[in-house]
Structure 1
């Protein structure tokens, strides 16, 4: 890669920094659609519109993944009804469209039931809450899946207390019937964070835990493919300090360790176990966030994670490296344009230390969420 794109990237970063007072204190904050449960809306019917426009350009070099440009939108118009103070029903259509394609890439029904079991606990059946990609880190879950994959559907349990946040789900990606010629596929995940001290403290120390299992198999299909089960695990600690009377609202240091295991009957990967280490330091302002990180991985792979972080090559099948070392620099911003309308973007820079290869990605997103009250309907 020539030096010109790198200079342009840095210049673009500086321009954005000067134009936008800063935001994103949490990873993937732009990926948010799910409406929180409102008990006060019992017996009310709403028309809800969710829209997500995206432009993302990946300029990737090296032999591990190919670059790509994504441009298009997601749109989900739906009806939302609260038959009681504990149940919410949503029904509509989920549309996925890439610019330059004559037809929709994906069109599917959107349907879910949210049962608020308690003030702290929610059970969701149908389409799942995917906000912020379940708070999963990039090596565990590729952020682009928010607008490239089908909407998640299955079962999900959410729990949020003063110190503990918990999200566990099953995304059933491929259902099979008797003698189908293909296998069932699903993903099981857990994403949690436990606050060790008082959350209102100026200094916060927490322990994040991330687990993903992907499975491919089944007993009633006629496929000859082998059974596959891939596990990825991550945990560590996060220290965040809030800053008062400053443009910098907080800074944080996070260190996560990762583990990979291929438990398939026939191994799909060149190696069946691996691990990685990813310390990051970040600073946030009102609208943006800078993060600097160092990635060190040995025989690491991930069935849902970003291909840039893996030791196996996706652009050159069969190629791999025992160890990967990479530095990462990320800038994220978001601005509220109007109620329910947010403009955001990301700049990501990756430098492969072993192969002296630079990769970067630029993105702009526009998110629109709107609720329109229709009428009150009493559930009999």
Structure 2
């Protein structure tokens, strides 16, 4: 991050002002308040301050007794309209619903086995987009949690959007592999995961694809303080390759990372909090043969948020230099992901985003989320926007005990 500032003196006043303000305000979440998408009870009342942070509340809570058999239902209906008219990110609409009923069984109090099916239906088409079996084995011991099978995906990792795209909650609802999570006092959350995206077999005409990473939040202020300072460390890696396929295509290994400082201050006696976040972000292509337009890149990502009982308002600033991220949001890329301009590159990106966010509780089991996000491009001097409405429902019912 220091090297980034040395090469860009124009950014120094803005960054120094933000870092100075971190002495009076704070947070433990990665970016947005995504509890409606990750918490066990999407619409349950929320504490004014959470050690884990809004984006990192555990997806499941409580410890079922040994032998319990439960029915778990997770339903997600989404509408996201991207009114983008630029050469980097396509404008399109995501509109559909996903249903994941499962049976959950606890052979012991620490081991939970879940099995079911994901049904994914996009509106405007008669066919299901996906019908996929789901299975998860989760072992919990104190602050430690190990998951095999369908790991806790996308938003549960707590990444910032330049590293992991928010739209993966709609476009890649399942991740399959191995995950280790730790929740404690000083180390608020550690999430280490591997997502095996595509399995390769002998004589396959395609390459295997793997993604993984680490996300950690270290608390810097004492517990119970109205000022919460945290140090985030985030890392992702993607790999495409294999040795038993018939494709004459080089291996590709890409790394992304981010770190910085986060602050959240709870106003005394009020349901209002202020949050500031400053991240330095990096990209590195470790491939033997380079296919992407850039081998290295960097970015600066700043967020300022006012959390109120009526609305969350976030102002975000992004400045990227040759930055690429295979898992990250489209807007933050230096190379086009559009259908009409696939070869277009824009090495220097500078954006200002305003986010208006509100969750409406529909009871403990359900929440309706509304988000409006205009974005201004400093280079193109244009304004695009996106608008989204999301319904999350999650609930479990005890069916009985199996001896």
Q: Does 1:290 align with 2:313?
A: yes
Normalised by the length of structure 2, the TM-score is: 0.85
Kept in 2, the 8 Å contact 1:292–1:329? The answer is yes
In structure 1, the residue matched to 2:180 is 157
- 2:154–2:164 Cα contact (<8 Å) kept: no
Gaps of 5+ in 1: 1-23
Q: Distance in 2 between matches of 1:40 and 1:28?
A: 25
Equivalent position to 2:354, from 329, 332, 335: 329
Give the aligned length: 353
Shift of 1:318: 2.0
Aligned to 1:376: 401
Summarize the alignment of residues 167-246 of structure 1 with structure 2, pairs less than 5 Å apart: 167-246=191-270
Distance 2:247 2:218 in 1: 42
| Distance change in 2, residues 1:173/1:287 (3 Å) | farther
Deviation at 1:286, TM superposition (A): 3.0
Structure 1 residue 357: deviation in Å? 1.5
Query: CA offset at residue 178 of structure 1?
Result: 1.4
Q: By how many angstroms is 1:281 displaced?
A: 0.8
**Partner in structure 1 of residue 23 of structure 2:** none
TM-superposed deviation, 1:38: 3.2
Counterpart in the other structure of 2:385: 360
Is this contact kept in 2: 1:106–1:150, CA < 8 A?
A: no
Alpha-carbon deviation of 1:371? 0.8
Task: Answer yes or no: is 1:30 the counterpart of 2:55.
Answer: no
In structure 1, the residue matched to 2:55 is: none
Distance 1:128 1:213 in 2: 17
Structure 1 residue 320 corresponds to structure 2 residue 320:
no
1:3-25 Cα shifts (integer Å, max 9, x gaps):
xxxxxxxxxxxxxxxxxxxxx99
1:339 to 364, 381, 384: 364
The DSSP-based 3-state class of the residue aligned with 2:108 is coil
Aligned 8 A contact 2:154 2:168 in 1: no
In the alignment, which residue of structure 1 is the partner of 2:76? 52
Q: Provide the rounded CA distance (Å) in 2 between the counterparts of 1:128 and 1:288.
A: 31
TM-score, normalising length: structure 1: 0.90
C-alpha displacement of 1:26:
4.3
Uncovered stretches (5+) of structure 2, i.e. residues with no partner: 1-28, 41-58
Checking the alignment, whether the CA contact within 8 Å between 2:79 and 2:93 is kept in structure 1 is yes
Find the aligned partners of 2:154 and 2:360 in 1 and give their Cα distance. 17
In the aligned structure 2, how far is the partner of 1:26 from the partner of 1:300?
A: 21
Which position in structure 1 is the counterpart of 2:329?
A: 306
CA contact (8 A) 1:350 1:360 kept: yes
Q: Which runs of 4+ in 1 moved over 4 A?
A: none
Q: Report if the CA contact (8 A) 2:311-2:356 is conserved.
A: yes
- C-alpha distance in structure 2 between counterparts of 1:131 and 1:46, whole Å: 25
Secondary structure of 2:37 counterpart = coil
